[in-house]
Amino acid sequence: MAGRPALWLGPLLLLSLGGPSAPASLLRRLGEHIQQFQESQGLSLTLGPGAGALPKQGWLEQPLDPFNTSDQRSFLQRYWVNDQHWASQRGPVFLHLGGEGSLRSGSVMRGHPAALAPAWGALVIGLEHRFYGLSIPAEGLDVAQLRFLSSRHALADVASARRALARLFNVSTASPWICFGGSYAGSLAAWARLKFPHLILASVASSAPVRAVLDFSEYNEVVSRSLTSTAVGGSPECRAAASSAFAEVERRLRAGAAARAALRAELGACSSLGRAEDQAELLGALQALVGGAVQYDAQAGVPLSVRRLCGLLLEDRRNGSRSASYHGLRRAVQVVMRSLGQRCLSFSRAETVAQLRVTDPHVSGVGDRQWLYQTCTEFGFYVTCEDPRCPFSQLPALPSQLELCEQVFGLSTASIARAVSQTNSYYGGQTPGSTHVLFVNGDTDPWHVLSVTQALGPSESALLIPGASHCMDMAPERPSDSPSLRLGRQSILQQLQTWLGPAKESQVSSAG
CB 473 within 8 A of CB 488: yes
Contacts of the segment 410-415: beta carbons below 8 A, 24+ positions apart: 410/143, 411/376, 411/377
**Three-state DSSP class for residue 21:** coil
Q: Is the dihedral of CA 503, 505, 508, 512 positive or negative?
A: negative
| Integer angstrom CA distances of residue 420 from 53, 140, 306, 376, 473 | 44, 25, 31, 9, 28
259-266 average pLDDT score: 93
Cα 161–chain centre separation: 23
Work out the number of other CB atoms within 10 angstroms of the CB of residue 58: 15
Residue 152 burial (10 A CB sphere; 0-12, 13-18, 19+): middle
Residue 319 has pLDDT above 50, yes or no: yes
Q: How confident is the model at residue 301 (pLDDT cuts 50, 70, 90)?
A: confident
Which residue intervals of the chain bear CATH 3.40.50.1820? Answer: 55-211+430-510
Q: Residue 387: its pLDDT value, please?
A: 82
Residue 31 has pLDDT above 90, yes or no: no
Q: Is the dihedral of CA 380, 383, 385, 389 positive or negative?
A: positive
* pLDDT one-digit tens code per residue, 340-379: 888 888 778 898 899 899 998 876 557 999 999 999 999 9
Question: Which amino acid, one-letter code, is at 154?
Answer: A
According to CATH, the topology of domain 55-211+430-510 is Rossmann fold (3.40.50)
Work out the number of other CB atoms within 10 angstroms of the CB of residue 90: 18
What one-character-per-residue DSSP string does 379-438 give? IEEE----STT-SS---S-HHHHHHHHHHHH---HHHHHHHHHHHHHHH-TT----SSEE
260-283 average pLDDT score: 91
Q: How far apart are CA 502 and CA 507, in angstroms?
A: 9
| Integer angstrom CA distances of residue 479 from 12, 232, 248, 300 | 23, 17, 39, 11
| Integer angstrom CA distances of residue 199 from 120, 195, 227 | 19, 9, 42
249-272 average pLDDT score: 92
Residues tagged active-site = 183, 445, 470
Residue 133 burial (10 A CB sphere; 0-12, 13-18, 19+): buried
Q: Residue 41: its pLDDT value, please?
A: 59
Q: How far apart are CA 301 and CA 133, in angstroms?
A: 21
156-179 average pLDDT score: 97
- Asked, as a colleague might, if the bond just before 113 is cis with ω within 30 of 0, I would say yes
Cα 8–chain centre separation: 10
Q: Residue 258: its pLDDT value, please?
A: 95
Between strands 177-182 and 74-82, the pairing is unpaired
Q: Is the dihedral of CA 449, 455, 461, 463 positive or negative?
A: positive
Q: Residue 506: its pLDDT value, please?
A: 53
